Structure 1
Protein backbone atom coordinates (compact mmCIF):
# COMPACT_ATOMS: atom_id res chain seq x y z
CA UNK A 1 0.00 0.00 0.00
CA UNK A 2 2.84 2.39 0.85
CA UNK A 3 4.30 1.84 -2.64
CA UNK A 4 1.13 3.31 -4.17
CA UNK A 5 1.62 6.60 -2.33
CA UNK A 6 5.36 6.62 -3.04
CA UNK A 7 4.65 6.18 -6.76
CA UNK A 8 2.18 9.06 -6.52
CA UNK A 9 4.90 11.34 -5.13
CA UNK A 10 7.26 10.29 -7.93
CA UNK A 11 4.54 10.88 -10.54
CA UNK A 12 3.94 14.36 -9.19
CA UNK A 13 7.66 15.14 -9.30
CA UNK A 14 7.92 13.86 -12.87
CA UNK A 15 5.16 16.24 -13.99
CA UNK A 16 7.20 19.29 -12.99
CA UNK A 17 10.65 17.95 -13.88
CA UNK A 18 10.49 19.67 -17.27
CA UNK A 19 9.66 23.05 -15.73
CA UNK A 20 12.69 23.48 -13.49
CA UNK A 21 13.68 26.87 -14.92
CA UNK A 22 10.23 28.33 -14.23
CA UNK A 23 10.32 26.98 -10.67
CA UNK A 24 13.77 28.46 -10.03
CA UNK A 25 12.61 31.83 -11.33
CA UNK A 26 9.60 31.68 -9.00
CA UNK A 27 11.87 30.85 -6.06
CA UNK A 28 14.26 33.71 -6.85
CA UNK A 29 11.29 36.07 -7.16
CA UNK A 30 10.06 34.93 -3.73
CA UNK A 31 13.48 35.52 -2.15
CA UNK A 32 13.62 38.99 -3.73
CA UNK A 33 10.13 39.69 -2.37
CA UNK A 34 11.28 38.70 1.13
CA UNK A 35 14.22 41.11 0.96
CA UNK A 36 11.88 43.91 -0.13
CA UNK A 37 9.56 43.11 2.79
CA UNK A 38 12.49 43.24 5.21
CA UNK A 39 13.59 46.65 3.93
CA UNK A 40 10.03 47.99 3.85
CA UNK A 41 9.13 47.00 7.41
CA UNK A 42 12.52 48.09 8.71
CA UNK A 43 11.76 51.59 7.41
CA UNK A 44 8.14 51.53 8.64
CA UNK A 45 9.09 50.32 12.13
CA UNK A 46 11.34 53.36 12.60
CA UNK A 47 8.22 55.53 12.66
CA UNK A 48 6.27 53.06 14.81
CA UNK A 49 6.15 52.49 18.57
CA UNK A 50 7.31 48.92 17.94
CA UNK A 51 10.89 48.95 16.68
CA UNK A 52 12.02 46.01 14.53
CA UNK A 53 15.68 45.70 13.58
CA UNK A 54 17.18 43.76 10.69
CA UNK A 55 18.38 40.95 12.97
CA UNK A 56 14.73 40.29 13.82
CA UNK A 57 13.17 40.98 10.44
CA UNK A 58 15.50 38.85 8.28
CA UNK A 59 15.00 35.52 10.12
CA UNK A 60 11.31 36.30 10.72
CA UNK A 61 10.39 36.90 7.08
CA UNK A 62 12.60 34.12 5.74
CA UNK A 63 11.09 31.52 8.07
CA UNK A 64 7.54 32.92 7.91
CA UNK A 65 7.48 32.79 4.11
CA UNK A 66 9.34 29.46 3.94
CA UNK A 67 6.89 27.73 6.30
CA UNK A 68 3.91 29.33 4.56
CA UNK A 69 5.10 27.82 1.28
CA UNK A 70 6.01 24.53 2.96
CA UNK A 71 2.53 23.93 4.40
CA UNK A 72 0.65 25.51 1.44
CA UNK A 73 -1.20 27.88 3.74
CA UNK A 74 -1.51 30.83 1.38
CA UNK A 75 -1.09 29.48 -2.16
CA UNK A 76 -3.71 26.75 -1.62
CA UNK A 77 -2.31 24.78 -4.54
CA UNK A 78 -3.61 21.52 -3.08
CA UNK A 79 -7.17 22.90 -3.14
CA UNK A 80 -6.65 23.87 -6.77
CA UNK A 81 -5.46 20.34 -7.58
CA UNK A 82 -8.52 18.86 -5.86
CA UNK A 83 -10.72 21.23 -7.81
CA UNK A 84 -9.13 20.14 -11.10
CA UNK A 85 -9.34 16.43 -10.27
CA UNK A 86 -13.04 16.69 -9.38
CA UNK A 87 -13.96 19.02 -12.23
CA UNK A 88 -12.16 16.88 -14.83
CA UNK A 89 -13.62 13.65 -13.45
CA UNK A 90 -10.21 12.04 -12.82
CA UNK A 91 -11.13 11.66 -9.15
CA UNK A 92 -13.41 8.79 -10.22
CA UNK A 93 -10.44 6.49 -10.78
CA UNK A 94 -9.20 7.18 -7.23
CA UNK A 95 -12.60 6.45 -5.70
CA UNK A 96 -12.67 3.03 -7.37
CA UNK A 97 -9.26 2.03 -6.00
CA UNK A 98 -8.50 0.67 -2.48
CA UNK A 99 -6.73 3.85 -1.41
CA UNK A 100 -7.43 6.98 0.59
CA UNK A 101 -8.21 9.45 -2.25
CA UNK A 102 -7.46 12.75 -0.42
CA UNK A 103 -4.15 11.41 0.90
CA UNK A 104 -3.27 9.91 -2.49
CA UNK A 105 -3.92 13.22 -4.26
CA UNK A 106 -1.93 15.00 -1.53
CA UNK A 107 1.10 12.75 -2.12
CA UNK A 108 0.83 13.58 -5.81
CA UNK A 109 0.73 17.25 -4.85
CA UNK A 110 3.81 16.86 -2.62
CA UNK A 111 5.71 15.35 -5.54
CA UNK A 112 4.84 18.29 -7.76
CA UNK A 113 6.02 20.69 -5.04
CA UNK A 114 9.18 18.76 -4.09
CA UNK A 115 11.65 21.36 -5.36
CA UNK A 116 9.77 24.23 -3.72
CA UNK A 117 9.59 22.27 -0.45
CA UNK A 118 13.33 21.61 -0.62
CA UNK A 119 14.14 25.31 -1.07
CA UNK A 120 11.76 26.29 1.76
CA UNK A 121 13.47 23.76 4.02
CA UNK A 122 16.92 25.12 3.10
CA UNK A 123 15.82 28.69 3.89
CA UNK A 124 14.51 27.55 7.28
CA UNK A 125 17.77 25.73 8.06
CA UNK A 126 19.70 28.86 7.00
CA UNK A 127 17.71 30.97 9.49
CA UNK A 128 18.29 28.39 12.24
CA UNK A 129 22.05 28.24 11.65
CA UNK A 130 22.66 31.99 11.54
CA UNK A 131 19.93 33.56 13.67
CA UNK A 132 18.43 31.01 16.06
CA UNK A 133 19.12 31.62 19.74
CA UNK A 134 17.24 29.36 22.07
CA UNK A 135 16.98 25.95 23.62
CA UNK A 136 15.45 22.55 23.02
CA UNK A 137 12.02 23.82 24.10
CA UNK A 138 11.96 26.41 21.30
CA UNK A 139 12.99 23.78 18.76
CA UNK A 140 10.22 21.46 20.00
CA UNK A 141 7.66 24.28 19.85
CA UNK A 142 8.81 25.13 16.33
CA UNK A 143 8.36 21.53 15.16
CA UNK A 144 4.91 21.39 16.78
CA UNK A 145 3.96 24.76 15.27
CA UNK A 146 4.90 23.60 11.76
CA UNK A 147 3.06 20.29 12.27
CA UNK A 148 -0.13 22.03 13.43
CA UNK A 149 0.19 24.52 10.56
CA UNK A 150 0.50 21.63 8.11
CA UNK A 151 -2.66 19.98 9.48
CA UNK A 152 -4.57 23.29 9.48
CA UNK A 153 -3.52 24.03 5.90
CA UNK A 154 -4.42 20.50 4.79
CA UNK A 155 -7.84 20.86 6.42
CA UNK A 156 -8.57 24.25 4.80
CA UNK A 157 -7.41 23.02 1.38
CA UNK A 158 -9.53 19.89 1.73
CA UNK A 159 -12.59 21.95 2.69
CA UNK A 160 -12.20 24.33 -0.26
CA UNK A 161 -11.38 21.49 -2.66
CA UNK A 162 -14.34 19.39 -1.50
CA UNK A 163 -16.75 22.21 -2.31
CA UNK A 164 -16.01 21.40 -5.96
CA UNK A 165 -18.32 18.38 -5.59
CA UNK A 166 -21.24 20.83 -5.49
CA UNK A 167 -19.93 23.57 -7.75
CA UNK A 168 -17.58 23.43 -10.71
CA UNK A 169 -15.81 26.60 -9.59
CA UNK A 170 -14.53 26.99 -6.03
CA UNK A 171 -11.63 29.23 -7.03
CA UNK A 172 -13.43 32.34 -5.83
CA UNK A 173 -13.48 31.03 -2.26
CA UNK A 174 -9.87 29.92 -2.63
CA UNK A 175 -8.78 33.43 -3.61
CA UNK A 176 -10.71 35.00 -0.71
CA UNK A 177 -9.09 32.67 1.84
CA UNK A 178 -5.66 33.21 0.25
CA UNK A 179 -6.00 36.99 0.70
CA UNK A 180 -7.17 36.57 4.30
CA UNK A 181 -4.18 34.34 5.07
CA UNK A 182 -1.84 36.80 3.36
CA UNK A 183 -3.01 39.62 5.65
CA UNK A 184 -3.58 37.76 8.93
CA UNK A 185 -1.04 34.95 8.54
CA UNK A 186 2.02 37.12 9.07
CA UNK A 187 3.94 36.46 5.85
CA UNK A 188 3.20 39.97 4.57
CA UNK A 189 2.49 42.01 7.71
CA UNK A 190 4.03 41.10 11.10
CA UNK A 191 1.08 40.58 13.43
CA UNK A 192 3.13 42.31 16.15
CA UNK A 193 2.27 45.62 14.47
CA UNK A 194 -1.50 45.17 14.96
CA UNK A 195 -3.21 46.77 18.00
CA UNK A 196 -3.16 44.47 21.04
CA UNK A 197 -6.87 43.54 21.00
CA UNK A 198 -6.91 42.85 17.26
CA UNK A 199 -3.67 40.88 17.51
CA UNK A 200 -5.18 38.65 20.21
CA UNK A 201 -8.25 37.95 18.06
CA UNK A 202 -6.02 37.09 15.08
CA UNK A 203 -4.00 34.68 17.26
CA UNK A 204 -7.22 32.79 18.02
CA UNK A 205 -7.59 31.94 14.32
CA UNK A 206 -5.56 29.25 12.49
CA UNK A 207 -3.92 31.75 10.12
CA UNK A 208 -0.92 32.89 12.25
CA UNK A 209 0.27 29.27 12.43
CA UNK A 210 1.13 29.39 8.71
CA UNK A 211 3.81 32.08 9.06
CA UNK A 212 3.77 34.32 12.13
CA UNK A 213 4.25 31.75 14.90
CA UNK A 214 7.17 29.88 13.22
CA UNK A 215 8.77 33.22 12.31
CA UNK A 216 8.50 34.61 15.85
CA UNK A 217 9.89 31.39 17.32
CA UNK A 218 13.07 31.97 15.32
CA UNK A 219 13.45 35.69 15.91
CA UNK A 220 12.37 36.17 19.54
CA UNK A 221 11.94 34.51 22.92
CA UNK A 222 8.94 32.42 23.94
CA UNK A 223 6.13 34.81 24.82
CA UNK A 224 2.36 35.01 25.27
CA UNK A 225 1.75 35.30 21.52
CA UNK A 226 3.57 32.04 20.86
CA UNK A 227 1.74 30.13 23.59
CA UNK A 228 -1.67 31.37 22.40
CA UNK A 229 -0.80 30.78 18.73
CA UNK A 230 0.49 27.23 19.18
CA UNK A 231 -2.45 26.28 21.43
CA UNK A 232 -4.94 27.79 18.99
CA UNK A 233 -3.40 26.03 15.99
CA UNK A 234 -3.50 22.73 17.90
CA UNK A 235 -7.26 23.09 18.43
CA UNK A 236 -7.89 24.31 14.88
CA UNK A 237 -5.90 21.45 13.36
CA UNK A 238 -8.43 18.96 14.73
CA UNK A 239 -11.47 21.08 13.83
CA UNK A 240 -10.37 21.78 10.24
CA UNK A 241 -9.13 18.25 9.58
CA UNK A 242 -12.34 16.63 10.84
CA UNK A 243 -14.50 19.18 8.98
CA UNK A 244 -12.51 18.64 5.79
CA UNK A 245 -12.81 14.84 5.95
CA UNK A 246 -16.53 15.08 6.75
CA UNK A 247 -17.13 17.44 3.82
CA UNK A 248 -15.12 15.17 1.50
CA UNK A 249 -17.27 12.16 2.44
CA UNK A 250 -20.44 14.18 1.90
CA UNK A 251 -19.11 15.35 -1.44
CA UNK A 252 -18.23 11.81 -2.54
CA UNK A 253 -21.79 10.68 -1.78
CA UNK A 254 -23.12 13.60 -3.83
CA UNK A 255 -20.71 12.70 -6.64
CA UNK A 256 -21.68 9.01 -6.59
CA UNK A 257 -25.41 9.81 -6.59
CA UNK A 258 -24.93 11.73 -9.82
CA UNK A 259 -22.89 8.88 -11.25
CA UNK A 260 -19.17 8.25 -11.53
Structure 2
Protein backbone atom coordinates (compact mmCIF):
# COMPACT_ATOMS: atom_id res chain seq x y z
CA UNK A 1 0.00 0.00 0.00
CA UNK A 2 1.53 3.29 -1.12
CA UNK A 3 0.31 5.37 1.82
CA UNK A 4 1.27 2.96 4.62
CA UNK A 5 4.86 2.04 5.44
CA UNK A 6 5.71 -1.61 4.91
CA UNK A 7 7.00 -2.06 8.46
CA UNK A 8 3.63 -0.84 9.76
CA UNK A 9 1.83 -3.48 7.67
CA UNK A 10 4.31 -6.12 8.83
CA UNK A 11 3.57 -5.20 12.45
CA UNK A 12 -0.18 -5.51 11.89
CA UNK A 13 0.40 -8.94 10.39
CA UNK A 14 2.53 -9.95 13.41
CA UNK A 15 -0.10 -8.88 15.96
CA UNK A 16 -2.85 -10.68 14.04
CA UNK A 17 -0.80 -13.86 13.63
CA UNK A 18 0.05 -14.02 17.34
CA UNK A 19 -3.60 -13.50 18.31
CA UNK A 20 -4.73 -16.36 16.08
CA UNK A 21 -2.18 -18.62 17.77
CA UNK A 22 -3.32 -17.61 21.23
CA UNK A 23 -0.33 -15.38 22.03
CA UNK A 24 -1.16 -11.85 23.12
CA UNK A 25 1.39 -9.19 22.18
CA UNK A 26 2.30 -6.64 24.86
CA UNK A 27 2.13 -3.01 23.81
CA UNK A 28 5.79 -2.56 24.77
CA UNK A 29 6.80 -5.36 22.41
CA UNK A 30 5.47 -3.74 19.25
CA UNK A 31 8.27 -1.28 18.49
CA UNK A 32 11.11 -3.77 19.15
CA UNK A 33 9.52 -6.10 16.60
CA UNK A 34 9.03 -3.28 14.08
CA UNK A 35 12.73 -2.38 14.29
CA UNK A 36 14.16 -5.86 14.04
CA UNK A 37 13.49 -8.81 11.74
CA UNK A 38 14.77 -12.41 11.58
CA UNK A 39 17.67 -13.20 9.20
CA UNK A 40 16.42 -13.50 5.67
CA UNK A 41 16.82 -16.46 3.33
CA UNK A 42 18.41 -14.96 0.19
CA UNK A 43 16.92 -17.71 -1.98
CA UNK A 44 13.39 -17.17 -0.74
CA UNK A 45 11.11 -15.27 -3.09
CA UNK A 46 8.29 -13.74 -1.08
CA UNK A 47 6.43 -10.58 -0.28
CA UNK A 48 8.91 -9.94 2.53
CA UNK A 49 11.66 -9.26 -0.04
CA UNK A 50 9.85 -6.03 -0.94
CA UNK A 51 10.79 -4.72 2.52
CA UNK A 52 14.54 -4.82 1.82
CA UNK A 53 14.85 -1.03 1.49
CA UNK A 54 13.91 -0.71 5.16
CA UNK A 55 16.99 -2.47 6.50
CA UNK A 56 20.70 -1.77 6.96
CA UNK A 57 23.23 -3.96 5.15
CA UNK A 58 23.10 -6.39 8.09
CA UNK A 59 19.45 -7.01 7.25
CA UNK A 60 18.38 -6.54 10.88
CA UNK A 61 17.84 -2.90 11.87
CA UNK A 62 15.31 -0.52 10.33
CA UNK A 63 16.69 2.86 9.35
CA UNK A 64 15.34 5.82 11.30
CA UNK A 65 12.15 4.06 12.42
CA UNK A 66 9.18 6.16 13.41
CA UNK A 67 7.18 4.99 16.45
CA UNK A 68 4.75 2.27 15.40
CA UNK A 69 2.85 1.35 18.56
CA UNK A 70 1.65 4.86 19.34
CA UNK A 71 0.61 5.37 15.72
CA UNK A 72 -1.42 2.14 15.55
CA UNK A 73 -3.16 2.96 18.82
CA UNK A 74 -3.74 6.58 17.81
CA UNK A 75 -5.42 5.77 14.50
CA UNK A 76 -7.53 3.04 16.08
CA UNK A 77 -5.98 0.03 14.33
CA UNK A 78 -5.21 -1.69 17.64
CA UNK A 79 -6.72 -1.63 21.11
CA UNK A 80 -4.91 -2.13 24.42
CA UNK A 81 -6.54 -3.90 27.34
CA UNK A 82 -6.06 -3.23 31.05
CA UNK A 83 -3.11 -5.63 31.19
CA UNK A 84 -1.28 -3.86 28.39
CA UNK A 85 -1.87 -6.47 25.66
CA UNK A 86 -3.04 -5.46 22.19
CA UNK A 87 -5.19 -6.84 19.40
CA UNK A 88 -6.30 -5.57 16.02
CA UNK A 89 -9.55 -3.66 15.74
CA UNK A 90 -11.99 -4.25 12.90
CA UNK A 91 -10.39 -1.31 11.08
CA UNK A 92 -6.91 -2.70 11.68
CA UNK A 93 -7.89 -6.06 10.19
CA UNK A 94 -9.40 -4.26 7.19
CA UNK A 95 -6.14 -2.38 6.61
CA UNK A 96 -4.17 -5.61 6.88
CA UNK A 97 -6.47 -7.35 4.40
CA UNK A 98 -6.20 -4.42 2.00
CA UNK A 99 -2.39 -4.48 2.16
CA UNK A 100 -2.45 -7.66 0.14
CA UNK A 101 1.17 -8.81 0.23
CA UNK A 102 1.57 -10.59 3.57
CA UNK A 103 -2.06 -11.60 3.74
CA UNK A 104 -1.93 -13.13 0.27
CA UNK A 105 1.20 -15.09 1.13
CA UNK A 106 -0.34 -16.51 4.32
CA UNK A 107 -3.57 -17.36 2.48
CA UNK A 108 -1.62 -19.28 -0.15
CA UNK A 109 0.17 -21.31 2.52
CA UNK A 110 -2.94 -22.06 4.62
CA UNK A 111 -6.18 -21.19 2.78
CA UNK A 112 -9.15 -20.60 5.07
CA UNK A 113 -12.57 -21.79 3.99
CA UNK A 114 -15.27 -19.46 5.29
CA UNK A 115 -17.85 -22.21 5.87
CA UNK A 116 -17.43 -25.95 6.32
CA UNK A 117 -19.81 -28.89 6.78
CA UNK A 118 -18.81 -31.45 9.41
CA UNK A 119 -20.06 -34.82 8.18
CA UNK A 120 -20.31 -37.53 10.87
CA UNK A 121 -19.31 -40.08 8.20
CA UNK A 122 -15.98 -38.30 7.68
CA UNK A 123 -13.26 -40.09 9.73
CA UNK A 124 -11.42 -36.76 9.98
CA UNK A 125 -14.39 -34.78 11.22
CA UNK A 126 -12.74 -33.99 14.57
CA UNK A 127 -9.56 -32.99 12.79
CA UNK A 128 -11.55 -30.42 10.81
CA UNK A 129 -13.26 -29.12 13.95
CA UNK A 130 -9.97 -28.92 15.87
CA UNK A 131 -8.30 -27.02 13.04
CA UNK A 132 -11.07 -24.42 13.03
CA UNK A 133 -10.97 -23.98 16.80
CA UNK A 134 -7.18 -23.69 16.81
CA UNK A 135 -7.45 -20.58 14.67
CA UNK A 136 -9.44 -18.88 17.43
CA UNK A 137 -6.38 -18.72 19.70
CA UNK A 138 -7.16 -18.11 23.36
CA UNK A 139 -10.75 -17.28 22.56
CA UNK A 140 -14.17 -18.07 24.00
CA UNK A 141 -16.23 -21.18 23.27
CA UNK A 142 -19.96 -20.67 23.84
CA UNK A 143 -21.61 -24.07 24.15
CA UNK A 144 -24.66 -24.51 26.39
CA UNK A 145 -24.30 -28.31 26.48
CA UNK A 146 -20.51 -28.58 26.80
CA UNK A 147 -19.59 -31.84 28.62
CA UNK A 148 -16.77 -32.87 30.96
CA UNK A 149 -15.46 -35.42 28.45
CA UNK A 150 -14.50 -32.58 26.10
CA UNK A 151 -12.30 -30.78 28.66
CA UNK A 152 -9.15 -32.80 27.98
CA UNK A 153 -9.51 -32.54 24.20
CA UNK A 154 -10.10 -28.79 24.35
CA UNK A 155 -6.97 -28.21 26.46
CA UNK A 156 -4.67 -30.55 24.54
CA UNK A 157 -5.80 -29.81 20.98
CA UNK A 158 -6.76 -26.12 20.97
CA UNK A 159 -5.69 -22.84 22.54
CA UNK A 160 -9.20 -21.96 23.73
CA UNK A 161 -9.11 -21.10 27.40
CA UNK A 162 -12.66 -19.91 28.15
CA UNK A 163 -15.93 -21.85 27.93
CA UNK A 164 -19.39 -20.43 28.62
CA UNK A 165 -22.14 -22.98 29.37
CA UNK A 166 -25.81 -22.82 30.33
CA UNK A 167 -27.25 -23.70 33.73
CA UNK A 168 -30.86 -23.73 32.54
CA UNK A 169 -31.25 -27.25 31.15
CA UNK A 170 -32.34 -30.25 33.21
CA UNK A 171 -28.93 -31.93 33.63
CA UNK A 172 -26.92 -28.73 34.02
CA UNK A 173 -26.11 -29.20 37.72
CA UNK A 174 -24.71 -32.67 37.14
CA UNK A 175 -22.79 -31.43 34.10
CA UNK A 176 -21.21 -28.63 36.16
CA UNK A 177 -20.16 -31.07 38.87
CA UNK A 178 -18.49 -33.34 36.34
CA UNK A 179 -16.77 -30.39 34.66
CA UNK A 180 -15.54 -29.17 38.06
CA UNK A 181 -13.93 -32.56 38.72
CA UNK A 182 -12.40 -32.63 35.22
CA UNK A 183 -10.87 -29.17 35.69
CA UNK A 184 -9.21 -30.40 38.90
CA UNK A 185 -7.96 -33.74 37.57
CA UNK A 186 -7.17 -33.33 33.86
CA UNK A 187 -3.53 -32.27 33.20
CA UNK A 188 -3.36 -28.49 32.79
CA UNK A 189 -7.04 -28.26 33.71
CA UNK A 190 -6.32 -25.05 35.58
CA UNK A 191 -5.55 -23.41 32.22
CA UNK A 192 -9.23 -23.56 31.30
CA UNK A 193 -11.89 -21.33 32.86
CA UNK A 194 -15.52 -22.44 32.61
CA UNK A 195 -18.42 -20.19 33.58
CA UNK A 196 -22.15 -20.84 33.62
CA UNK A 197 -25.21 -18.62 33.23
CA UNK A 198 -28.96 -19.15 33.44
CA UNK A 199 -29.60 -16.21 31.13
CA UNK A 200 -32.00 -17.32 28.35
CA UNK A 201 -29.98 -15.16 25.93
CA UNK A 202 -27.44 -17.99 25.80
CA UNK A 203 -28.76 -19.99 22.88
CA UNK A 204 -26.56 -20.20 19.79
CA UNK A 205 -23.20 -21.97 19.86
CA UNK A 206 -20.20 -20.04 18.65
CA UNK A 207 -16.49 -19.34 19.05
CA UNK A 208 -15.21 -15.81 19.60
CA UNK A 209 -11.52 -15.74 18.73
CA UNK A 210 -8.86 -13.85 20.66
CA UNK A 211 -8.66 -11.37 17.78
CA UNK A 212 -12.43 -10.82 17.65
CA UNK A 213 -13.58 -13.04 14.78
CA UNK A 214 -16.71 -15.16 15.27
CA UNK A 215 -17.56 -18.65 14.03
CA UNK A 216 -21.05 -20.08 14.48
CA UNK A 217 -21.32 -23.79 15.33
CA UNK A 218 -24.32 -25.79 14.15
CA UNK A 219 -24.22 -28.11 17.18
CA UNK A 220 -22.52 -28.62 20.51
CA UNK A 221 -18.96 -29.93 20.23
CA UNK A 222 -20.09 -33.19 21.86
CA UNK A 223 -22.59 -33.60 19.01
CA UNK A 224 -19.96 -33.42 16.28
CA UNK A 225 -19.46 -36.90 14.85
CA UNK A 226 -23.08 -37.78 15.61
CA UNK A 227 -24.98 -35.28 13.47
CA UNK A 228 -24.31 -33.32 10.30
CA UNK A 229 -23.45 -29.78 11.33
CA UNK A 230 -21.68 -26.72 9.98
CA UNK A 231 -19.19 -24.06 10.99
CA UNK A 232 -20.17 -20.70 9.52
CA UNK A 233 -18.37 -17.36 9.53
CA UNK A 234 -20.96 -14.55 9.71
CA UNK A 235 -20.60 -11.08 8.25
CA UNK A 236 -18.79 -8.46 10.33
CA UNK A 237 -21.96 -6.73 11.52
CA UNK A 238 -23.53 -10.00 12.69
CA UNK A 239 -20.23 -11.09 14.28
CA UNK A 240 -20.12 -7.86 16.26
CA UNK A 241 -23.55 -8.59 17.73
CA UNK A 242 -22.53 -12.09 18.81
CA UNK A 243 -19.21 -10.86 20.21
CA UNK A 244 -20.81 -8.13 22.30
CA UNK A 245 -23.64 -10.40 23.48
CA UNK A 246 -21.51 -13.31 24.66
CA UNK A 247 -18.66 -11.27 26.10
CA UNK A 248 -21.32 -9.52 28.19
CA UNK A 249 -22.78 -12.84 29.34
CA UNK A 250 -19.28 -14.04 30.19
CA UNK A 251 -18.61 -11.05 32.41
CA UNK A 252 -21.78 -11.71 34.43
CA UNK A 253 -21.53 -15.51 34.54
CA UNK A 254 -20.50 -17.61 37.56
CA UNK A 255 -17.24 -19.55 37.63
CA UNK A 256 -17.24 -23.33 37.76
CA UNK A 257 -14.71 -23.94 40.54
CA UNK A 258 -12.41 -26.97 40.06
CA UNK A 259 -13.34 -29.69 42.53
CA UNK A 260 -10.84 -32.45 43.38
CA UNK A 261 -12.25 -35.91 43.90
CA UNK A 262 -12.56 -36.72 47.59
CA UNK A 263 -13.09 -40.05 49.33
Q: TM-score, normalised by structure 2?
A: 0.26
Which is richer in helix?
A: 1
Query: Considering only CA atoms, is the larger Rg found in Structure 1 or Structure 2?
Result: 2
What is the TM-score when the length of structure 1 is the normalising length?
Answer: 0.26
Bigger RCO of structures 1 and 2 (CA < 8 A, at least 6 apart)? 1
Identify, as 1 or 2, the structure richer in strand.
Answer: 2
